[in-house]
Amino acid sequence: MNHDPLAHVRALFDLDDSVVYLDGNSLGAPPKNVAARVQDVIANQWGRRLIRSWSEGWWTAPERIGDRIGKLVGAAPGQVVVADSTSVNLFKALMAAVRGTDRSEIVVDAGTFPTDGYIARSVADLTGLALRPVDPDHLAVHDRTAVVLLNHVDYRTGRLLDMAELTARAHAAGAKVVWDLCHSAGVLPIELDRLNVDLAVGCTYKFLNGGPGSPAFLYVPTAAQPGFHQPLTGWTGHRAPFAMTPDYTPDGGVSRARAGTPDIVSMLTLDAALDVWDQVDLRDVRAKGLALTAHFRGLVEDLPGIEVITPADEWRGHQVSLRHRDAESLMRRLIERDVIGDHRPPDVLRFGFAPLYNSFEDAERAAAVLKELL
C-alpha cells in the first residue's frame, strides 16, 4: 500500500467521492473554503464596503497574491504579480524581452501549447523578428537569438524540461528565456530566482485551483524590473495611477507589469484557493505526484491498444498521457462512467493527478474502468 502524507488534504476540497477526477491539469477542483470567501467578497466587501474596499485590500491584491504564488515558484517577494491571462502576460513578457534588441529571432518550443505559439507569432510579426520552432532536445541558441520561449511541462505528453540546463544554455548565447509554468506551478518545487530565469508566466486554474478563468501570473525578477518595458501601458501599471497625468511613467517595481483594472472577484477567489498551500510542503506534493503517476502507469501500460507517451523517469509532470486510436470516444465513455480525464486530438488520453486531492484509489479505479472498456 502506498504511503500518502497528503491524504488528509483531500478533505479540504469539495469533491464528489463517486467521481474520479483526473483533469486537474486543465481545471483544478474547488477548495471548500472558497465559496464562503467569495460570498463575503460579494455581500460584504462589495455589498457593504462598496468602493471603500479598493483602499482596504483590493488595490494591492495583485502583488499580495503574487507573493503567495512566488513562494511556490522560488521567487522572493516583490517579483510576481497576478494579472490578466496567460496569453496577455506572454505578450507582455516577449515584447519586453525583445524590445531594443539587435538580434533577429525568437525561438519557441516546437511542441508548445498553441496559445504560446500564437502569441510568439504575433510578437514576431509586430517586431519583424523571425520565429524559429525547435525541439528542446536539440535547442540551438546563437548570437541571432533574442529570446527563447519554453513550456516547463509539455501539455500533451507531460514531459518535464530541465529548466536549469536550458536556461543556462540560452544565457550562454546571450539570449533571454521565458518559461511557461502553466503545467508545473503547484506540481514541483521551482527555483526561478536561483536559476536566474529572465521572465516566467503561468496560469492559476490548473494545479493551483483558482477557478475557471482565474487570473494568471507574471514573474519579473527585481534586477530586471527597471528595464522591463511592457507594451500594454495601462493605468494600473503607472507609478502614480490616481494622479491621472497624461504621460505614462511605469511603476518602479513589479507593478509595472499590470495593465488594466484587476478582476477582483476572480482575484480573491484565487486568494482563498491558495490557502490550502499554506498547509503542505511542495516536496511532499512532488513525491506523491510521481508515485501516483507511476502507479497508474504500471496499471495501464500493458492494456491492449495503449501506448504510454509520458516519460517513465522523473522528468514528467503530474499527468499520464496515453495514445489510443479511439481516444476521443474512449474518453467520452470514461466520463460516462465518472472517470474524468480529457482528450487531445487526434489520439491522446490525458489523466492529470493532483496530489492534494487525488488518491491511489483514484488511480486504481480509473485503471479498472479503462481496462473494462478496452
Cite the annotated binding site for pyridoxal 5'-phosphate by residue number: 86-87, 113-116, 180, 183, 205, 235, 261
Q: Which of 4, 84, 180, 362 is catalytic?
A: 180
| Strand stretches in the chain, DSSP E | 20-21, 80-82, 105-109, 130-134, 145-151, 176-180, 199-202, 217-219, 307-308, 319-323, 339-340, 342-344, 348-352
Is 176 marked active-site?
no
Query: Annotated binding site, which residues?
Result: 86-87, 113-116, 180, 183, 205, 235, 261
Q: Report residue 158 as a C-alpha cell.
A: 507531460
Radius of gyration of the chain (CA): 21
Is 40 marked active-site?
no
Q: Which of 296, 350, 353, 360 is catalytic?
A: 350
Q: Report residue 226 as a C-alpha cell.
A: 527597471
Q: Which of 21, 113, 228, 357 is catalytic?
A: 113
Residue 103 near residue 175 (C-beta atoms within 8 A): yes
Is 205 marked active-site?
yes
Q: Which residues are catalytic?
A: 113, 180, 205-206, 350
